[in-house]
Amino acid sequence: DWTMGAYREEAIRLIREQVGDKQVICGLSGGVDSSVAAALLHEAVGDQLTCVFVDHGLLRQNEAEEVVTMFRDHMNLHVIHAEEQELFLGELEGVSDPETKRKIIGKLFIDVFQKYANGIDGAEFLAQGTLYPDVIESVSFSGGPSVTIKSHHNVGGLPEKMGLKLVEPLRELFKDEVRVLGAELGLPPSFIGRHPFPGPGLAIRCPGEITRAKLDILRKADAVYIDQIRKHGLYDDIWQAFVAILPVRTVGVMGDGRTYDYACALRAVTSVDGMTADYYPFSHDFLGETATRIINEVPGINRVTYDITSKPPGTIEWE
Ligand code: XMP
């Protein structure tokens, strides 16, 4: 007779047993997983928890403020807002290979954590919101030989040199279960219902070179797209929706003039656990209206496409 209430009690007991009276740091990524992990940890060890919210400059519009405000002001967690945009974007300059991007971001995360962990007396543990599908997918591709599809930055063992032990209280859960647990822990429904957001953030939605200019365009287009989805009441029917900015500019015409701006792709999928996914069957009216809004409201984009690839053979993210 398994319930999330019982899981929560057991998870809290195990965390207390593992952590004792030591300090824990937890990386808040802005996603649902790390948020639920932080809330669970906070309930288990209270003030022994310090969250580090790494602002890598690859977040969505208003994301940093929303996350920091919620955890600091509404949930009373100790949150350090690590403003490391310069560091991340600097190291990513000129890099276009997807795995190289992921490795750079993963490594910098560890560096940044180490820096903040060193500032916390007695920090011995690092908590992460790793889910069951993360564990599986980074190990093997079902049925086939052991192949790494993408190196998830939140999985795969922190280097020994970091000297922190790992706490992963969500390791046995799927996404839908994490949401139920989040509700149990009192996170607001609007927050729990948010679409998943990957640790490497907008970096993997910006194929090719990442520049500040492209990220700004991407953030604006993504905000318009999500606004459209909410206005049409579709947000909760969709597992994940986002814009990817393509590494190509195309010719268009606006008013009397020729434009030469970026193309973008809209992505929206349904899924149960992120392991497989189908593209979402938007109406043509919705797609047309959204394309018009993005082109009118987002300088720098003059062409909008819709990605109709399922997973497999595609992945949800573009990189
Ligand atoms: P893919 O693109 O592999 O994504 O089909 C499956 C799900 O995982 C998310 N994703 C990540 N989440 N760190 C994360 O925390 C990562 O490195 C990462 N890469 C992909 C993706 O957004 C989708 O929900």
Of 216, 299, 204, 292, the residue nearest 261 (C-alpha): 299
Does ipTM surpass 0.95 in this model?
yes
- Which of 154, 239, 317 best tests ligand 1's pocket when mutated (most atoms within 8 Å of CB)? 317
- Which of 60, 137, 150 best tests ligand 1's pocket when mutated (most atoms within 8 Å of CB)? 150
Number of H helices, E strands in the chain: 10, 9
Location of structure tokens 């802005």? 30
- CB burial readout 42-77, b (16+ within 10 A) else e: bbbbeebbbbbbbbbbbbbbebbeebbebbeeebeb
> d(Cα 2, Cα 295) in Å, to the nearest integer?
49
Q: What is the pLDDT along the chain (319 residues), one digit of tens a residue?
A: 579 999 999 999 999 999 999 999 998 887 889 999 999 999 999 999 999 999 999 999 999 999 999 999 889 999 999 999 999 999 999 999 999 999 999 999 889 888 887 888 888 998 988 888 777 766 544 444 456 677 776 544 555 566 789 999 999 999 889 999 999 999 999 889 999 898 899 999 999 999 999 999 999 999 999 999 999 999 999 999 999 999 999 999 988 999 999 999 999 999 998 999 999 999 999 999 999 999 999 999 999 999 999 999 999 999 9
Token representation of residue 91: 């190291």
> d(Cα 245, Cα 215) in Å, to the nearest integer?
8
Residues 53, 30: contact at Cβ < 8 Å?
Answer: yes
| Domains of the chain by start residue, with CATH | 4-192 (3.40.50.620), 211-306 (3.30.300.10)
Q: What is the pTM of this model?
A: 0.87
- Which distant-in-sequence residues (6+ apart) come within 8 Å of 83 by Cβ? 55
Of 24, 51, 28, 63, the residue nearest 199 (C-alpha): 28
> d(Cα 319, Cα 94) in Å, to the nearest integer?
16
Distance 208 CA to ligand 1 centre (A): 18
Distance 296 CA to ligand 1 centre (A): 30
